[in-house]
A and B are shown apart, each in its own frame.
Chain A
């Protein structure tokens, strides 16, 4: 259970990094990535995945796999 960031759509604004309650979002070689081991899709914490709810780019953050 994890989300993933589309590198094509990502603007690098870091909003998701700031909102993630699990510190699962990090920057690697100029790209933002979600650590699948840490991502819980905010289950049990919030009723919407925070990164998806704040991301300005439609479709940029979606379910992995």
Chain B
């Protein structure tokens, strides 16, 4: 009988297990430096640094009800999907092509399309080859955790500093509703027994990584009706075991993807439901990630953009370019020099904490309001009150397969995505969309065009309070908004 078939309750791992200290890795003084150029781990880094996923890991060792391995559309952006699988050698060629075209490249990750550690040989061979050519590139991988405890030494030996584990439950009864089966110790296991093994392996792997000082991000898929409230317990459990960041993502369940949940009609959470859970989980010491784009296993570029098609194998030159160490150094030096001076904050006396506004911002990056409304494929969403402005997420709004192609349909998609916003900040906007937004009760603001986002949000809040005091407007909380309507078509 395999060692791990018995369900081991969370708090009874017993003697001989790694002992967890109170000091989780997040307390380490070097944490900021370790994540400062990782776009997935650091909210500020994601505007300046790019990542690439190499799809060298096609096999998987579990089945999830939100995944359909057969579905493979080049125009669709979500985990588990790729257009082209790579050998480790091909992955290195692709890395060289990307590095020479994108100086912002800071991270190479292995995220499937199956499970990185169900393909351990291919995954670690890739790490080894990449490390030889590109010693300054951060390596990371993501896994469901089932095979994780067997590979801790490999992970440390290859200098993989960041690992993401997808953990959707800490209760096998909940797990049985998410995972129909797993393949472990040469057997297929089903139902509660399968989920119990998976849970035990995930917790063990997380603890072992934390003990070795590897940074662990935990991804959780929020599945309304199955684990939405349970994820609070998951948050507590992974925090106690040393995870440093929790990324709670909405279920993607469009029926055309052919996943079990999609076919069953299980819905995605709304923007409000997701934010409420993230806020509850972010209350404690551990950070909650809000800028995840749920990207493909072969994504290339800054988060929110996908340039994978430019670097398809067929598009690579005959001779690989050299690894551009100098250009990479120059880009980082330039970033440091261009770092904006701290903005003087508005006098706190002028701000009221009680009025909290939600604002959508059209931006191409650089922390500025620098995008035309009609060109935005996503908006960044901020909350601003007397305490300041906080990034709370992003919304994709156009280029959808579903929802038709007409302007009216496109506008309806945008309105549904921004329905919780009081205002939208843009560099420019046409009269028709401005009027449609006004009719929906959303104020269009273009007077901060090209300006920095944070001070503009504070200024708008200040101005809003003034108009409120003068009786020029009526303040009310807005409704909820929709996340990811239909399949996303990469530009």
Q: Report A's interface with B, CB cutoff 8 A.
A: 9, 11-15, 18-19, 46-48, 50, 53-54, 56-57
Contacts and interface: CB of A to CB of B under 8 A. Distances in A.
Interface string B218-244: 000000000000000000000000000
Contact of A56 (B69, B119, B186, B187): B69
Contact of B188 (A14, A18, A53, A57): A53
B474 interface: no
A61 to B, nearest CB: 12
A53 B70 contact: no
Nearest to A50: B186
A56 B69 CA distance: 7
A12 B60 CA distance: 12
8 contacts: A13-B113, A13-B114, A14-B58, A18-B119, A19-B183, A47-B187, A48-B188, A54-B61
A57 B72 CA distance: 14
Interface of B: 58-61, 63, 69-70, 72, 85, 113-114, 118-119, 183, 186-188
Contacts of B119: 14, 18
Given A54-B59, A54-B61, A56-B60, A11 B188 contact: no
Contact of A15 (B70, B72, B114, B186): B114
Contacts of A47: 187
A18 B183 CA distance: 13
B118 A15 contact: yes
Contacts of B183: 15, 19, 53-54
A15 B118 CA distance: 8
Given A47-B187, A50-B186, A53-B183, A11 B61 contact: no
Contacts of A13: 58-60, 69, 113-114
Given A11-B70, A18-B59, 6 more contacts: A15-B59, A15-B60, A15-B114, A47-B187, A53-B183, A54-B183
Contacts of A53: 183, 186-188
Contacts of B60: 13, 15, 56
A15 B114 CA distance: 9
A35 B187 CA distance: 22
Nearest to A47: B187
Contacts of A46: 186-187
A10 B85 CA distance: 15
A48 B186 contact: yes
A32 to B, nearest CB: 11
A34 B130 CA distance: 33
Nearest to A16: B59
A53 B466 CA distance: 66
A11 B183 CA distance: 17
Contact of B187 (A14, A48, A57): A48
A12 B85 contact: yes
Q: Which of B59, B60, B118 has the most CB of A within 10 A?
A: B59
A53 B181 CA distance: 10
Nearest to B120: A18
B69 A57 contact: yes
Contacts of A9: 70
A9 B70 CA distance: 8
B216 to A, nearest CB: 25
Nearest to B59: A15
A24 to B, nearest CB: 16
Contacts of B61: 15, 54
A46 B185 CA distance: 10
Given A18-B119, A57-B70, A12 B187 contact: no
A19 B114 CA distance: 15
A27 B63 CA distance: 23
Contact of A11 (B63, B69, B118, B186): B69
A55 to B, nearest CB: 9
Contacts of A12: 58, 85
Nearest to B68: A56
A15 B59 CA distance: 5
Contacts of B70: 9, 11, 57
Nearest to B189: A53
A14 B59 CA distance: 6
Q: Which of A14, A48, A54, A56 has the most CB of B within 10 A?
A: A56
A18 B115 CA distance: 13
A20 B113 CA distance: 21
Nearest to A60: B70
A41 to B, nearest CB: 14
A40 B187 CA distance: 17
A57 B118 CA distance: 16
Nearest to A21: B186
Contacts of A14: 58-59, 119
A11 B61 CA distance: 14
A13 B70 CA distance: 10
Contacts of B113: 13
Nearest to A46: B186
A46 B188 CA distance: 11
Contacts of A11: 58, 69-70, 72
